Structure 1
């Protein structure tokens, strides 16, 4: 990530997360981000790390749906943390030009990879969304995205 920080701290035996540099930069990115990406990144609760029910931190990656068509998009589903969220999150990407998941740690004591922090930046494709998880990094370059809270139960399947 260019501005936000999510790094393992061996002294703490845990992760240090800090979105402050990204939040300072975010107002300058408004005109360059697609509408859906801007709405998600600038949501009031998105980076409210300690208490926000709409904060991405601590959501668990539940699934990746890659339809067969070239411009069909991509969907990531995240389950809620039982200590923080009242609903899960589904992010639908349109006009996807790049998608990758890179595993970087060997944390085998965790049941699921959870979100530490994310960052959405302007990109030639429209926007770039980088999501740092406890054990991996997801990168998507796309035309735009739509983030929808709710509809994802604790199993990662549609609820409601």
Structure 2
């Protein structure tokens, strides 16, 4: 991630969205509408208090389309100590999806969200033209998810 910090330090994770929150106003009108609505939600990065903060959500499902529609759904279950409900993130126009495992934290039952970041997709396609859309990166306790897509829609109240 370019702005959000989600790092393992000593015996715990250090997360800090401060630099991304400073950058976020400049992304208005640049991010697709659904991505902007999700990223700019006032509770999104309210780590200590908001039930709509992504921190500590549990990865519950990955649902790629079985056709060529370019759709993908990530399902997150609520953390029972923090969230009232889960979250579904539906992606449209997916050009890239990856899950990269990079740690060996075997004492956790499931991968949980540390933080995420959504930026405009400035990577050029095969034809050399900017792809447009956005890149959603999600740092998990034991992995990271990257989705390049046209837009996304986040729906709280799902995955309960």
Q: If the length of structure 2 is used for normalisation, what is the TM-score?
A: 0.93
Name the residue aligned to 1:158: none
The alpha carbon displacement at 1:152 in A equals 1.1
Name the residue aligned to 2:48: 50
Aligned to 2:111, the other structure's residue is in SS state: coil
Name the residue aligned to 1:15: 13
Name the residue aligned to 2:145: 138
Q: Is the 8 A contact 2:65 2:71 kept in 1?
A: yes
Which portions of structure 1, spanning 4 or more consecutive aligned residues, are displaced by more than 6 angstroms? Answer: none
Aligned to 2:56, the other structure's residue is in SS state: coil
**Given the alignment of the two structures, is residue 114 of structure 1 paired with residue 121 of structure 2, yes or no?**
no
Name the residue aligned to 1:150: 157
The alpha carbon displacement at 1:72 in A equals 4.1
The alpha carbon displacement at 1:51 in A equals 1.3
Q: For this pair of structures, how many residues does the alignment match?
A: 151
Q: Distance in 2 between matches of 1:72 and 1:140?
A: 11
Q: Is the 8 A contact 1:131 1:137 kept in 2?
A: yes
Of the candidates 39, 42, 46, which is equivalent to residue 41 of structure 1? Answer: 39
User: 1:77-116 alignment to 2 at 5 Å?
Assistant: 77-116=75-114
Q: Distance in 1 between matches of 2:158 and 2:113?
A: 18
CA-atom RMSD, angstroms?
Answer: 0.7
Aligned to 1:131, the other structure's residue is in SS state: strand
Query: Is 38-47 or 63-72 further displaced after alignment?
Result: 63-72
Query: Structure 1, residues 95-149: CA drift from partner, whole Å, max 9, x if none?
Result: 0000000001011110100000000000124000000000000000000000000
Q: If the length of structure 1 is used for normalisation, what is the TM-score?
A: 0.93
**Given the alignment of the two structures, is residue 62 of structure 1 paired with residue 60 of structure 2, yes or no?**
yes
Gaps of at least 5 residues in structure 2 are 122-130
Query: Structure 1, residues 57-110: CA drift from partner, whole Å, max 9, x if none?
Result: 000000000111122400000000111100000000000000000001011110
Q: Distance in 2 between matches of 1:14 and 1:20?
A: 19
